[in-house]
C-alpha cells in the first residue's frame, strides 16, 4: 500500500514563526503545506488570506494545499491561485455552481478540490467526483483546532475509496480534523491518501516518520 502523504496545517503553527513551521514541514518527505483560510462567517474564526500565502510561497517548493473555509469562494479563488496555491479546495455547502468553479480553478492551472463538513453526506458529490483532483473530508466541525475526530466520518473515506475504484476516478482522498497518534491507524485503514494534521504535528504528538 502506498504510504499516505502528510499535510501539516499552518493554522496550528506559531504565526510569528511561519518560516520555522515550513522548515519543520520540509523535514517530512513529500509533505504538503496545508493552509486553512477562514473568514469568520462560514466558520467562526478568522485566519489568514492571500498576502500570507504570497509571502510564504518563496520559502518552499512544497505543494500548497489551500482550503477555503469562506463564503463566496468564487469571488476569491483567482487571487489565491495567483498567490501560489497548487491545490485549491472549496466547500460544497456554500457554493451553487460547483462545476463552473471547478473548471475556473483548473483553467488557472491549479488543481480543484471539494470539501464537505461532517453533516454532509458523500452522496451529494456524485456529479462532482469525476471533475475534482481532491476530496477533503472534514472529520471535525471546521473552525477550531484540537477537536476530536468524529468516527462516522471515516465511513465517508471508505465510501470515496470504493467509488474511486469502481469508477476509475483519480481524486486524492484527504481527511482533516482530530488526526493524532491515537486516531491515525483508523484513518489510514479507512483509506486516506492525504492526512491533514495541525496541533498533533506541531506539538510533536504525530512524528510522521514514527507513525
Cα 38 to Cα 30: distance, rounded to the nearest angstrom: 25
pLDDT one-digit tens code per residue, 18-54: 999 999 999 999 999 999 999 999 999 999 999 999 9
Q: What CATH number labels 5-210?
A: 3.20.20.70
205 labelled catalytic? no
CB 41 within 8 A of CB 71: yes
Residue spans of the domains in the chain: they are 5-210
CA distances to 3, 107, 134 from 141, in Å: 26, 31, 19
Query: For the range 152-156, what are the long-range contacts, defined as Cβ-Cβ under 8 Å and sequence gap of 24 or more?
Result: 152/118, 153/118, 153/177, 154/186, 154/187, 154/190, 155/190, 156/116, 156/121, 156/122
- Written as one string, the DSSP assignment of 36-50 is EEEBSSSSS-B---H
Distance CA 134, CA 131 (A): 9
The pLDDT tens digits of the residues spanning 143-177 come to 666 678 999 999 999 999 999 999 999 999 999 98
Q: Is 176 a catalytic residue?
A: yes
List 36, 39, 65, 133, catalytic entry: 36
pLDDT at 145: 65
| Contact by Cβ (8 Å): 129, 163 | yes
Which of the residues 39, 133, 176, 193 is marked catalytic?
A: 176
For 72-84, write each residue's pLDDT tens digit. 999 999 999 999 9
* % of the chain with per-residue pLDDT over 90: 86
Amino acid at each position: 500500500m502506498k504510504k499516505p502523504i502528510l499535510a501539516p496545517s499552518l493554522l496550528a503553527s506559531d504565526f510569528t514563526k511561519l518560516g520555522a513551521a515550513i522548515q519543520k514541514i520540509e523535514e517530512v518527505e513529500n509533505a504538503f503545506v496545508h493552509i486553512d483560510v477562514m473568514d469568520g462567517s462560514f466558520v467562526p474564526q478568522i485566519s489568514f488570506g492571500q498576502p500570507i500565502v504570497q509571502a510564504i510561497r518563496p520559502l518552499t517548493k512544497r505543494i500548497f494545499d489551500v482550503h477555503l473555509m469562506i463564503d463566496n469562494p468564487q469571488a476569491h479563488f483567482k487571487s489565491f491561485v495567483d498567490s501560489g496555491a497548487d491545490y485549491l479546495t472549496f466547500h460544497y455547502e456554500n457554493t451553487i455552481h460547483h462545476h463552473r468553479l471547478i473548471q475556473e480553478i483548473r483553467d488557472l492551472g491549479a488543481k480543484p478540490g471539494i470539501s464537505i463538513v461532517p453533516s454532509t453526506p458523500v452522496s451529494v458529490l456524485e456529479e462532482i467526483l469525476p471533475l475534482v483532483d481532491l476530496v477533503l473530508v472534514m472529520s471535525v466541525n471546521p473552525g477550531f483546532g484540537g477537536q476530536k475526530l468524529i468516527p462516522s466520518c471515516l465511513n465517508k473515506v471508505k465510501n470515496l475509496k470504493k467509488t474511486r475504484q469502481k469508477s476509475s476516478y483519480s481524486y486524492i482522498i484527504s481527511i482533516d480534523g482530530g488526526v493524532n497518534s491515537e486516531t491515525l491507524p483508523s484513518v489510514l485503514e479507512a483509506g486516506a491518501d492525504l492526512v491533514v494534521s495541525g496541533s498533533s504535528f506541531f506539538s510533536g504528538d504525530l512524528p510522521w516518520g514514527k507513525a
